[in-house]
């Protein structure tokens, strides 16, 4: 599902597991990422952080844990029931409150009003930014324009407390609506041309005074048999501080205006691949024949033996470095005590290439260069590793 110049690509195959928990690093621009975390973020391969949200009206604050780190979307979304804050409503040009519907590739959707909040990431300065307060009953419920979707209406049971969209584009251009207390009308045509920029849900990292040109996600390797949990880091900024300088040998992979990159496998070129922390599995194009699990692990891939797919992403310098993707039989590797795997996969949705989901992040440091923002690696949008 495209979002203007970005892509909403989050999808989670639900398997509940055990939990651990982590907080923020002492560094200004570093957040600790726990996989899985606790409570609502107890899903396989779901990286989560804590985010502090404050009222711009009276200064009261709440730190919300178990928020999914998603490089496939832009903007912060938190369930309204967890906020309990006096937040300003965002409004259209006529003063009507704005509602938003974001639909993810897996068919799930979040509905609710856009609110203005002060957001604190790690130990960075507070930024004032529009966020979505997820609230299924807002204005009488989702507009029919949202389509037939699986509405996420409460945290828990495989639904995180929220989503921190830190993708490579600033604005979330999903479906926006002008609302009364009981009904909403879609804002058409392009909302970006129809709404004030201050009313758009957007990636809060873009608004930081420094450390605002991208993010870096880094995680250690784990055994092929899985791990109980893993802890990594989300570092804000690329080349803006001593702790976010690019390492030697990092290659840049330019992203298209919708955030895609090109992958080659077996002589076939897939032009709609993405690198997305919010997807908890590898997504493999369905024209690559791999058995699908049945029973309790239905939906996962179950090759007879672990497969190794050697793929190549096209780098900006013209090279095509190969990457080995292991695809295990989920029936064989799943352990209810483990929450992290580097080799689980499903079929990608129709029309998509490879989804380099969270398993791809394990053992790597991956850079996300922001749209039109200069970095030592080049000007975004790009991926790099």
pLDDT above 90: percentage of residues in the chain: 78
pLDDT at position 1 is 26
Residues 6 or more apart whose CB falls under 8 angstroms from that of 16 comprise 42, 43, 157, 158
Mean pLDDT of the chain: 91
For the chain, the straight-line distance linking the first and the last C-alpha, in angstroms and rounded, comes to 25
At 256-270, the pLDDT tens digits run: 999 999 999 999 999
User: For the ranges 14-23, 171-180, 272-281, 305-314, which has the lowest average pLDDT?
Assistant: 14-23
Tokens 């419920």 identify what position?
141
> Stretch 226-235: mean pLDDT, rounded?
97
What pLDDT was estimated at residue 127? 98
Residue indicated by tokens 């109980």: 228
What per-residue confidence (pLDDT) applies to 149?
Answer: 75
Give the integer Cα–Cα distance in Å for 249 and 315: 12
Domain ranges of the chain: 2-207, 245-384
pTM of the model: 0.93
Q: Of the candidates 38, 211, 189, 184, which has an alpha carbon nearest to the alpha carbon of residue 127? A: 211
Each residue's pLDDT tens digit, 162-221: 999 999 999 998 999 999 988 999 987 677 788 888 899 999 999 999 999 999 999 999
Mean pLDDT of 218-230: 96
- As a whole number, mean pLDDT of residues 107-116 equals 93
Residue with structure tokens 């129809």? 194
Residue 197 CB neighbour total at 10 angstroms = 10
Do the first three CATH levels of 2-207 and 245-384 match, i.e. the same topology?
A: yes
Quick check: 243 pLDDT over 90? yes
Three-state SS string over 350-376 comes to: CCCCCEECHHHHECCEEEEECECCEEC
Q: What is the mean pLDDT of residues 87-102?
A: 93
- Cα–Cα distance measured from residue 341 to residue 345, given in angstroms and rounded to the nearest whole number: 10
CATH number of 245-384: 2.40.70
Please write the tens of the pLDDT for every residue from 311-326.
999 999 999 999 999 9
pLDDT at 381 over 90: yes
Task: Please report the pLDDT score of residue 366 as a whole number.
Answer: 98
Classify domain 2-207 at the CATH class level: mainly beta
pLDDT in tens, 44-66: 999 999 999 999 999 999 999 99
């Amino acid at each position: 599902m495209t979002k203007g110049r970005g892509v909403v690509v989050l999808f989670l195959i639900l398997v509940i597991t055990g939990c651990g928990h982590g907080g923020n690093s002492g560094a200004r621009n570093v957040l600790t990422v726990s996989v899985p975390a606790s409570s609502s973020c107890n899903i396989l391969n779901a990286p989560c952080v804590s985010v502090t949200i404050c009222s711009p009206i009276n200064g009261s604050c709440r730190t919300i844990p178990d928020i999914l780190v998603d490089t496939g979307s832009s903007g912060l979304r938190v369930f309204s029931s967890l906020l309990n804050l006096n937040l300003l409503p965002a409004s259209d040009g006529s003063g009507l409150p704005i509602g938003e519907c974001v639909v993810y590739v897996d068919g799930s959707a979040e509905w609710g009003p856009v609110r203005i909040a002060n957001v604190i990431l790690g130990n960075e300065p507070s930024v004032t930014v529009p966020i979505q307060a997820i609230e299924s009953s807002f204005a009488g419920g989702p507009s029919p324009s949202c389509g037939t979707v699986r509405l996420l209406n409460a945290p828990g049971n495989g639904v995180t407390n929220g989503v921190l969209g830190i993708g490579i584009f600033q604005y979330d251009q999903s479906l926006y609506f002008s609302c009364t207390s009981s009904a909403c009308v879609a804002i058409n045509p392009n909302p970006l041309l129809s709404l004030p920029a201050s009313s758009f849900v957007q990636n809060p990292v873009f608004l930081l005074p420094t450390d605002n040109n991208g993010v870096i996600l880094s995680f250690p390797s784990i055994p092929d048999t899985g791990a109980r949990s893993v802890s990594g880091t989300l570092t804000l900024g690329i080349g803006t501080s001593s702790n976010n300088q690019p390492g030697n040998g990092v290659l840049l992979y330019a992203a298209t205006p919708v955030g895609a990159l090109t992958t080659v496998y077996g002589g076939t070129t897939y032009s709609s691949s993405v690198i997305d922390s919010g997807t908890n599995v590898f997504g493999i194009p369905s024209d690559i024949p791999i058995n699908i699990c049945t029973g309790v692990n239905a939906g996962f891939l179950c090759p007879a033996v672990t497969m190794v797919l050697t793929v190549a992403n096209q780098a900006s310098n013209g090279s095509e470095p190969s990457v080995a993707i292991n695809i295990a039989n989920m029936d064989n590797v799943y352990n209810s005590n483990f929450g992290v795997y580097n080799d689980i996969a499903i079929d990608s949705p129709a029309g998509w290439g490879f989804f380099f989901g969270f398993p791809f992040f394990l053992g790597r440091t991956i850079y996300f260069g922001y749209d039109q923002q200069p970095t030592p690696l080049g000007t975004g949008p790009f991926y790099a590793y």
